[in-house]
Amino acid sequence: MKKNLKFYLKKALENHFALGAFNFSNLESLQAIVAASLQTNSPAIISVSESALNYMGESFVISLAQAAKEQNPALFLHLDHGKSFEICKKAVDLGFDSVMIDGSALPFEENVCLTKKVADYAHKKGVLVEGELGQIKGIEDNIDIAKSSYTNPEQAAEFVKQTKVDMLAVAIGTSHGVNKFVKTPSLRLDILQQIENILPQTPLVLHGASTVDEKLVETFNNFGGKLDKAQGVSEELLIKAIKEHNIAKINTDSDIRLAFSSEIRKVLSENKKEFDPRKYLGKGREKTEQILSFKMKNVFFCADKK
């Protein structure tokens, strides 16, 4: 079988490891992902959000992804949180390997309709599709996590049946950003279990899965930053979600931003005369690579799965 994204998602599901889906928004963050994937011999997904696509520009994204794939052919370009048919179509036409259509804010029937439209178009061109059901919210939206709308397992089964998505993002208590929990980190693994009981063959996706390393937050704050009450998902919970459940793709953005920015703050504070971007961006890149290599080996277990 061709070693495409479908192959790796199936392999991840069957062998209980997760593909990391790592967001990049500049050359150095992509280089860090590539280097970590090579160092650990991992397959990985390189993700761009709509805003990252606008920030870098389409042709830069495509050229950068092509250069990354030349170094590691087990890297796959993914559109993260596409909000419309048009942006997903654009990504498909540009040659992305997969797209996420995020209709999670819509009523169920409208989410089904939009997701199915994207899947019908993408599948004709051999591009995989991720849909989302339930809302991945958090305290940054001033919404109590206890009241957040988790994925409904029966609706999930109906959603996958009608849309034919290749992967499903589930809402089980994670949220985007660095302020994920008010008190103790917890996930609704019971809901995850119910979803996979009904959909045993569907690779499930965990968004908002950064661990928000407290040492990185400390560095960030010690060198002039101010991140209050930062808290991520614990490594133990992520490992459980991968090893004991069907989470086969894990999205990580905040940890990359935090590694990169905390290191840059440190280097610039300690070297007041430094004005060569290569010196501080290079250090940010090194720190990010370290953090990602650790994750690939010890949390996602995708090392040596190429």
Active-site positions read 80
CB of 55 to ligand G3H, least distance (A): 8
Candidates 104, 210, 219, 246; binder of ligand 13P (CB under 6 A) is 210
Q: Decide: helix, strand or coil at residue 254.
A: helix
Q: Residue 258 interacts with ligand G3H (CB under 6 A)?
A: no
Amino acid type, 57: G
Q: Residue 248 interacts with ligand G3H (CB under 6 A)?
A: no
CB of 81 to ligand G3H, least distance (A): 5
Q: Residue 287 interacts with ligand 13P (CB under 6 A)?
A: no
CB of 209 to Zn ion, least distance (A): 9
Q: Which residue pairs, CB below 8 angstroms and at least 24 apart, start in 290-295?
A: 290/259, 291/213, 291/216, 291/255, 291/256, 291/259, 292/20, 292/22, 292/32, 292/33, 292/36, 292/37, 292/252, 292/256, 292/259, 293/36, 293/39, 293/40, 295/20, 295/36, 295/211, 295/252, 295/255
Query: Quick one: what does residue 210 bind among ligand G3H, ligand 13P, Zn ion, none, with the CB cut-off 5 to 8 Å set by partner type?
Result: ligand 13P
CB of 207 to ligand 13P, least distance (A): 3
Q: Decide: helix, strand or coil at residue 20.
A: strand
Q: Residue 49 interacts with ligand G3H (CB under 6 A)?
A: yes
Q: Residue 177 interacts with ligand 13P (CB under 6 A)?
A: yes
Over the window 13 to 32, marking each residue x when it contacts ligand G3H by CB under 6 A and - when it does not, the resulting string is: ----------x---------
CA nearest 135: which of 165, 189, 182, 176? 176
Amino acid type, 217: V
- Gap between the terminal Cα atoms of the chain: 13
Query: Quick one: what does residue 209 bind among ligand G3H, ligand 13P, Zn ion, none, with the CB cut-off 5 to 8 Å set by partner type?
Result: ligand 13P
Closest CB to ligand 13P among 210 and 274?
A: 210
Q: Residue 288 interacts with ligand 13P (CB under 6 A)?
A: no
Question: CA 116: distance to chain centroid?
Answer: 22
CB of 111 to ligand G3H, least distance (A): 17
Give, as ranges, the residues between 9 and 38 that touch ligand 13P (CB under 6 A).
Answer: 23
CA nearest 187: which of 203, 165, 211? 211
Residue whose structure tokens are 């993408």: 122
Of 33-41, 49-57, 66-74, 274-282, the segment contacting ligand G3H by CB under 6 A is: 49-57
Query: Quick one: what does residue 78 bind among Zn ion, ligand G3H, ligand 13P, none, with the CB cut-off 5 to 8 Å set by partner type?
Result: none
Question: Could you give the CA distance from residue 63 to residue 66 in angstroms, rounded to a whole number?
Answer: 5
